[in-house]
A and B are shown apart, each in its own frame.
Chain A
Amino acid sequence: MRIGVIAIQGDISEHVDALARALEERGSSADIVTIKHKGIVPGCDALVLPGGESTTLGRLLIREGIADEIRQMHLAGKPILGTCAGLILLAREGDEQVKKTNQHLLGIMDTKVNRNAFGRQRESFETGIDLPFLDLPYNAVFIRAPGIVECGKDVTILTQLDGMVVAAEQGNVLALAFHPELTLDTRVHQYFLDKFI
Chain B
Amino acid sequence: MELEKLRHGTELIKRGFAKMQKGGVIMDVTTPDQARIAEEAGAVAVMALQAVPADIRKAGGVARMADPQIIADIIDTVTIPVMAKARIGHFVEAEILQALGVDMVDESEVLTPADNKYHIDKTDFTVPFVCGARNLGEALRRINEGAAMIRTKGEAGTGDVSEAVKHMKQILGEVRALKGMSREEMTRIAREIEAPVELVLETAQMQRLPVVNFAAGGVATPADAALMMRLGADGVFVGSGIFKAEIPEKMAVAIVEAVNNYDNPGVLADISKGIGAGMKGISVDTIPQDQVLQTRGW
A residues engaging B (CB < 8 A)?
Answer: 7-14, 36, 51-53, 55-56, 59-60, 63-64, 84-85, 97-98, 100-101, 103, 115-116, 120-129, 141, 143-144, 160-162, 179, 182-183
CB-based contact A55/B39 at 8 Å:
yes
CB-based contact A143/B17 at 8 Å:
yes
CB-based contact B7/A121 at 8 Å:
no
Residue numbers in B under 8 Å from A144 (CB-CB): 17, 20, 81, 103
What is the CB-to-nearest-CB distance from A141 to chain B, in angstroms, rounded to a whole number? 6
18 A–B contacts from the bound complex (CB under 8 Å): A9-B260, A10-B19, A11-B16, A53-B20, A53-B21, A53-B81, A56-B80, A60-B256, A84-B20, A101-B78, A115-B79, A122-B127, A125-B13, A127-B5, A127-B7, A141-B13, A144-B20, A182-B19
Residue numbers in A under 8 Å from B19 (CB-CB): 10-11, 14, 51, 182
CA A67 to CA B80, docked complex, whole Å: 21
CA A132 to CA B257, docked complex, whole Å: 41
CA A145 to CA B122, docked complex, whole Å: 23
Q: Which residues in chain B, 77-93, are within 8 Å of chain A measured between CB atoms?
A: 78-81
List the B residue with the shortest CB-CB distance to A59. B42
Residue numbers in B under 8 Å from A115 (CB-CB): 79
Q: Provided the pairs A9-B44, A56-B80 are in contact, do residues A182 and B12 lie with their beta carbons within 8 angstroms?
A: yes
CB-based contact B101/A10 at 8 Å:
no
CB-based contact B1/A160 at 8 Å:
yes
Residue numbers in B under 8 Å from A179 (CB-CB): 16
CB-based contact A10/B22 at 8 Å:
yes
Residue numbers in A under 8 Å from B43 (CB-CB): 56
Residue numbers in B under 8 Å from A182 (CB-CB): 12, 16, 19
Residue numbers in B under 8 Å from A116 (CB-CB): 79
Residue numbers in B under 8 Å from A129 (CB-CB): 1
B9 CB within 8 Å of chain A? yes
CB-based contact A56/B24 at 8 Å:
yes
CB-based contact B260/A60 at 8 Å:
yes
Interface size on B, residues (CB 8 A): 39
B residues engaging A (CB < 8 A)?
Answer: 1, 3, 5-10, 12-13, 16-17, 19-24, 39-40, 42-45, 78-81, 98, 101, 103-104, 126-128, 256-257, 260-261
List the B residue with the shortest CB-CB distance to A64. B260
B3 contacts which of A97, A121, A124, A162 (Cβ < 8 Å)? A162
Residue numbers in A under 8 Å from B103 (CB-CB): 120-122, 144
Considering residues B45, B126, B260, B261, which has the most beta carbons from chain A within 10 angstroms of its beta carbon?
Answer: B260
Residue numbers in A under 8 Å from B260 (CB-CB): 8-9, 36, 60, 64
CA A53 to CA B79, docked complex, whole Å: 9
CB-based contact A53/B7 at 8 Å:
no
Q: Provided the pairs A121-B128, A182-B16 are in contact, do residues A55 and B80 lie with their beta carbons within 8 angstroms?
A: yes
CB-based contact B23/A125 at 8 Å:
no
B256 contacts which of A56, A122, A123 (Cβ < 8 Å)? A56
Considering residues A64, A115, A121, A126, which has the most beta carbons from chain B within 10 angstroms of its beta carbon?
Answer: A121
CA A32 to CA B106, docked complex, whole Å: 35
CA A52 to CA B19, docked complex, whole Å: 8
